[in-house]
Amino acid sequence: MSTIWTEKYRPQTFSEVKGQKFIVERVKKFVEQKNMPHLLFAGPAGCGKSTLALVTVKELYGETWKQNFLELNASDERGIDVVRNTIKDFARTRPIGNSVFKIIFLDECDSLTKEAQQALRRTMENYVTTTRFLLSCNFSSKIIDPIQSRCTVFRFKPLEEQDIKEYIANIAEKEGITIDEEAIKAIEDITAGDARRITNILQSCASESKTITKEIIYQTISAAEPQEIKEIITLAINKKFVEARNLLLDTMLKHGLSGLDTIKQIQKEIWNIEEITDEQKINTIDKIGEFEFRMVEGSDEFIQLEALLASLAK
């Protein structure tokens, strides 16, 4: 497959954007009025922030959108010199055609240094007559307050279950693939509403088979099935420590899982274990947080997972 599906199925109009209905309607009204404030899109990855920004620009400018649009993302240099030179030079020039203003889109702007953000706040203020800024980030808390106060802030959320089903159905129909309900549910659980990851998983699975099942999905993404993780937890809880340890090792080797991947799956499945009470689940989550911190700090992953199973056995 020569086409990257994430680009192939990127929405081109407001009606094609999945989820974020309230935000899309508000931004659409700005476009219809040919006027808009500075905007800040905040939310998790893959929920449509960059897509909506590009759709907004294309709907606003039509064929001249490339001449009136500057995009910078985290792969570009993001220091104070870029704000003082590249951004300021683009912001101070008049828009092309009948447009009132141009748009500068700063993707992943939470990676801007504090000094660059301080320089940006003055640029946003000084050139507001010729330029609007459209910022997107995963964590709005990393954006300084003066910039947030200059923007209308929209907070995105992951795609909901119905949006995911419609999105998958659209791709399946156009690509001629078949996907059953179990596979759709597996994608929902794995991706947590990340449309970009949904698309990548579907393309990877479709390269192997035109009929996509739950088993193919877990093989493709190298993740253990929930039932495998639940069996490990259940064995540990029932004090069958050696069996739980061996199954854990086999599962990690079979799927090529890292310690962090495994502990995240354990954290997710612990709530589906019926053999323990809610209070025990709470205590287990507390333990999981401690062991995950140790892994991040550089401790041996398998030893920490063994210790976690030992604490469950107790």
pLDDT tens for each residue of the chain, 314 residues long: 457 888 888 888 998 898 889 999 999 999 999 899 999 999 998 899 999 999 999 999 988 888 899 998 866 666 777 777 888 888 888 888 778 899 999 998 888 888 888 888 888 888 888 899 999 999 999 999 999 999 999 999 999 889 999 999 999 999 999 998 999 999 988 888 899 999 999 999 998 888 998 888 988 888 888 899 999 999 998 999 999 999 999 998 888 888 898 999 999 889 888 888 888 889 889 999 999 999 999 989 989 999 999 988 88
Q: 140 near 148, Cβ under 8 Å?
A: yes
The boundaries of every CATH 1.20.272.10 domain in the chain are 226-313
Q: Report pLDDT for 2.
A: 52
SS3 of residue 137 by DSSP:
strand
**Residue 143 vs residues 69, 110, 114, 117: alpha-carbon distances, Å:** 22, 6, 8, 8
pLDDT at 1: 43
Tell me how far apart the terminal alpha carbons of the chain are, to the nearest angstrom.
Answer: 51
What pLDDT score does 280 carry?
87
Q: Where in the chain is the domain with CATH 1.10.8.60?
A: 161-221
Q: What kind of fold does domain 20-155 have according to CATH?
A: Rossmann fold (3.40.50)
Sign, CA dihedral 275-277-282-286, equals negative
What would the two tokens of residue 27 be? 């931004």
* Global confidence as pTM: 0.81
184/196 Cα distance (integer angstroms) = 15
| CATH class belonging to 161-221 | mainly alpha
CA pair distance 180, 193, nearest whole angstrom: 18
| CATH architecture of the domain covering 226-313 | Up-down Bundle (1.20)
* Long-range interactions of 225-232: CB distance < 8 A, separation 24+: 226/189, 226/265, 226/268, 226/269, 226/272, 229/262, 229/265, 229/266, 229/268, 229/269, 230/269, 230/272, 230/273, 232/266, 232/309
**Residues 18, 48: contact at Cβ < 8 Å?**
yes
Where do you find CATH 3.40.50.300 in the chain? 20-155
* CA dihedral of 43, 48, 53, 55, whole degrees rounded to 10: -160
The Cα–Cα gap between 238 and 9 comes to: 47
- Angle formed by the axes of helices 181-191 and 195-206, nearest 10°: 130
Dist CA 70 CA 91 (whole Å): 9
